[in-house]
Structure 1
């Protein structure tokens, strides 16, 4: 189901251990005032589909599921958006079409 709710104010940033994701993490750090995942309204996930699923499962296990915006830095990326370090990440998240998967 698609939704166009208000933009998120508190974003967390997580990245897989692969070098491309770690480089993207370093490039995005100065773009936003990131908060810890536990305090976030939404999370930006850098990596591949596997890392996105791992992040979602970790949130489910913790009992706190928040929206996740994935950026493909893996090999396939069916669940992810294209990574562009020049684009303002907060604006991309705010403009993203939201889907609820149950």
Structure 2
């Protein structure tokens, strides 16, 4: 089953909220070795978990099986503030972004 949730809706489901942030920690810190994201609680939480983010979750057999977060390009996002070197040319952004 696929769910599309706002950050607020995700926060209203503590079980899913924790599963999402633990999965992100497992992928980015444990598997990819991004140690600057390491936290004692083993949750990956960042400045882009704001009210305008949309979280897509895949639940299979009652477990979180997949996840992605969509961020608007009308404000700073991962490709403008953190990973801009992944883009050829300018990072994707709306003309109103101000960057």
Q: TM-score, normalised by structure 2?
A: 0.29
Structure having greater relative contact order (Cα 8 Å, sep ≥ 6): 1
TM-score (norm 1): 0.28
Q: In terms of Rg, which structure is larger? A: 2
